[in-house]
Amino acid sequence: MVKVKVCGITNMEDALKAVEYGADALGFNFYPPSPRCITPEKARAIVAELPDKICNVALFVNEPRERVEEVLGYGLRADGRQAFQALQFHGDESPQYCRGWKLKVIKAFRIKDQALATRLRGFPADFYLLDAWAPGYGGSGSTFPWSWLAGLDSDKVILAGGLDIDNVQEAIRFVRPYGVDVCTGVEAKPGIKDHGKLKEFIHAAKNAG
């Protein structure tokens, strides 16, 4: 069954609802220009209330390694365990930058054309989050031709970009990714989830097989 990652979590209620509805992973955005940016303090408080089965993902954009390590260090639970299980790098991070982390690494790529297989081949990341190209470093909120992914190892693909209740099942059946990532498609406004859309999206994704 496909995994569902809900990104842009900014508050406790949205996090708990996502978990209740069946999300497998939650994304916490530490990119200051984003309207979904969250402080390490607030993220830590939310994560402390989540079950261990949830994969908590810390998202960064072109940050020095020291800053990432600082956030991770602050993100320790009271019992000393790490609050995050994966890192998502959503900027122009190099292969060298993406090596050597103790957590799983998700590298985001903004897909502008079909010639992406060459760029991804051998890139040192556990998963590739594939989004449509857009100016800047935020999520695009738009789809791209899924046929461009032909030939990729779909077991490493987390599909993003304009996914919503209406198209997520088609996307999963076409691409057969490891997971899907949703943010704007289930929002009431930037940083705040629409719980009705959130529930419908997760249900649709989980029943796409």
Q: Annotated catalytic sites, by residue?
A: 7, 131
Contact 98, 67 (CB under 8 A): no
Cβ contacts of residue 7 below 8 Å, gap of 6+? 26, 27, 29, 36, 57, 59, 139, 160, 181, 182, 183
Contact 138, 34 (CB under 8 A): yes
d(CA 8, CA 195): 14
Contact 102, 76 (CB under 8 A): no
Task: Indicate the Cα dihedral angle 72, 9, 57, 121, nearest 10°.
Answer: -130
Task: Indicate the Cα dihedral angle 156, 54, 31, 204, nearest 10°.
Answer: 70
Tokens coding 142: 């738009």
Backbone conformation region of residue 162, classed left if phi is above 0, alpha if psi is from -120 to 50, else beta: left
